[in-house]
Amino acid sequence: MRRVAFIFVPWPIGAERSDSALKAGLQIKENQGFDMKFMSFHGDRIRARMRPAAFAAVLASSFASGATFAATPVDAQPEAPEADLAIQAKPTDMWTGIWTRQSLLGDMGGIRPWLGKYGATLQITETSEYLANLRGGLNRGGAYDGLTTATLTVDTQKAIGLPGGTFNVSALQIHGTNLSARNLGTLNTASGIEAQGTTRLWELWYQQSFLDKRVDVKIGQQSLDQEFMVSTYANTFVNTMFGWPALPSYDLPNGGPAYPLAGLGVRVRAQITPKLTALAGVFDGDPLGNNPNNLSGTNFNLHNGTLYIGELQYALNQPSDGEMDTGRSNGLPGTYKIGVWYHNGRFADQNVGTDGLSLSDPASNGNAQQHHGDYSFYAVADQMIWRPDPTGPRSLGVFARVMGAPGDRNLVSLAANAGIVLKAPFEGRDNDSVGLAVTYIQVGSHVTDLDRAARSFATGPYGVRTRETTVEATYQYQVNPWWVIAADAQYTFNAGAGQNPSDATQPLRNTFVLGARTTITF
């Protein structure tokens, strides 16, 4: 599970990891070293969860792993508009010294400076967590899980004299037990790092910028949750759906090319104006393809449909060049995004068969009608709404994200989440965050029709799936720059959207989950 960690500063979703930002002193020490929300484990879908290995040991020693509640590994955070940087920015003079340096292992005996001479940076982060279901769900109990993420990034300007190029390769070591599948039975899975235990290749890509960095092209194996549908404030939370949302997780084949199942593709980004950025990509439509497991992450498949995705990002009150050292701007920063994706594969109707009967009807031939293609529209907003001192760390921000898809061919037709995050909640705790958020799932109309038809033919009780809501509260305590500990609580209403996944004839009570996560940047 563990890898030797060489780095370093966990860059949050939306933070641009560039030499210029580093030189400017932009220390984004957001507790979200891991965007791991990414993902979730839906059915057979392998969704990344961090490795809880040695959770107790972590707390017992300074070698513990400090991590944040997010659903995507820290090592490959997307490069979002500068307004996101302003939202995430932290004071630059918070810590000095060995215990308070940016990474646990410092320069690793000269290894990091040596790599730096060749333009290479190695980042390793370990996140461990223990979550327990105290009531409801499938059964009560707790589980430990964790994730180790290692990323090697090479600046081709320093390495071979090629300006504007970046090479990236990352690997995951996922370990532990999936609490959501074993104890909860909810659609809103409890942790963004839950997944099938394995060691796998994650991303492998090359990016080249053009036109004074106003345009860049990325080609290779990529994880969409690092750049598309990202909400900076939402990454504060642990539940999977605040990372890679429920709708693409359940509706795209095997959850789509998102952590930990990256897929081959090409992505183009263009800065249309200083405030407006466009993203567009074409990706493999099924990251598992014909390999149901793909545990190694090396199933480079291009034969199971194509996923097209586009997104517009508008950055409000982004910092000017002269303000990048503090990440401050003249106004309250925000980022607004709209997007759409389309998959050209074939998708089965959730209720109606080729004979026109409900698939729940005993007389049905059991063959579902097929629909050509699937699609979704979405919108994301992150906005700082209060900052008493433009030069101080305290701020209050809100986020909202909503998306919809056809109800005839999809398990989830509507997904939405929203929340509020207070940074520096107490005097002297400049890098702590406390947040409250809610995430909502509405199942497709044909899924509900299927269950209602099944209930009409049943001789006893039968659960009908409709909707599910989870409320989460979290507090992230930054022990030092490389160690974060977070406490988390989640309550889910109408668990399983109204149906017990193990036995549709049995009720599923609301769930209540408590837990803690620790993340260390080596």
pLDDT for 15 equals: 38
Q: What is the pTM of this model?
A: 0.81
Judging by beta carbons within 10 Å of its beta carbon (0-12, 13-18, 19+), is residue 187 exposed, middle or buried? buried
> Which of the 8 DSSP states describes residue 253?
G
Tens of pLDDT along 68-83? 333 444 444 445 554 4
Q: Indicate if the pLDDT at residue 305 is higher than 80.
A: yes
Phi-psi region at 136: left, alpha or beta (left = phi > 0; alpha = psi -120 to 50): left
CA distance 187 to 180: 9
- Which structure tokens are listed for 41? 């484990």
Q: Indicate if the pLDDT at residue 16 is higher than 80.
A: no
Class of the domain covering 19-521:
mainly beta
Tens of pLDDT along 174-220? 999 999 999 999 999 999 999 999 999 999 999 999 999 999 999 99
Cβ atoms 119, 155 nearer than 8 A? yes
Tens of pLDDT along 354-407? 999 999 999 999 999 999 999 999 999 999 999 999 999 999 999 999 999 999
Tens of pLDDT along 139-176? 999 999 999 999 999 999 999 999 999 999 999 999 99
Map 22-88 to HEC letters: HHCCCCCCCCCCCCEECCCCCCCCCCCCCECCCHHHHHHCCCCCCECCCEECHHHCCCCCHHHHHHH
CA distance 486 to 501: 30
CA distance 239 to 241: 6
Q: Indicate if the pLDDT at residue 114 is higher than 60.
A: yes
Of 104-113, 245-254, 261-270, the one with minimum mean pLDDT is: 104-113
| Alpha helix segments (H runs only) across 334-423 | none
Of 47-51, 157-161, 296-300, the one with minimum mean pLDDT is: 47-51
Domain ranges across the chain: 19-521
Cβ atoms 253, 294 nearer than 8 A? no
Q: Sorting pLDDT into bands at 50, 70 and 90, what band is 89?
A: low
